[in-house]
Amino acid sequence: MTIQFYGIPNCDTVKKARTWLEGQGFDYTFHDYKKEGANAARLGEWADVVGWEALLNRRGTTFRKLPDAAREGIDRDKAIALMVAQPSIIKRPVVEHGDQVLVGFDPAAWAAALD
């Protein structure tokens, strides 16, 4: 079963996760948000599995630089629209493996989920 890996290549966490996957011998397909963008339908599917709150990176620079009006009153639909418009605010990496969605890099959780 192929692993679908979503992220931004120059992100340190993405680099660590890719190195880990390769070190474990996992094959994966990489989706670069900067080149390929983010798909609203796919974000919606992930939000159904992990919750939109887990996908939205409120701690990053891109989110903090948004106007106050964009950062206030966020709900699922607004969060997805923001992530489509600004893929840098999607918490990284996101991995799809079968019906699982993993958000962020945790080697122990990944080992258990991808085994």
Q: In the annotation, is 3 catalytic? A: no
Instruction: Choose, from 11, 17, 47, 89, the residue flagged as catalytic.
Output: 11
Per residue, the 3-state secondary structure of 56-99, as one string, reads: ECCCCHHHHCCCHHHHCCCCHHHHHHHHHHCHHHECCCEEEECC
Spell 20-41 as b/e; 16+ CB within 10 A means b. Answer: ebeeeebebeebebeeeebbee
Catalytic residue ranges? 11
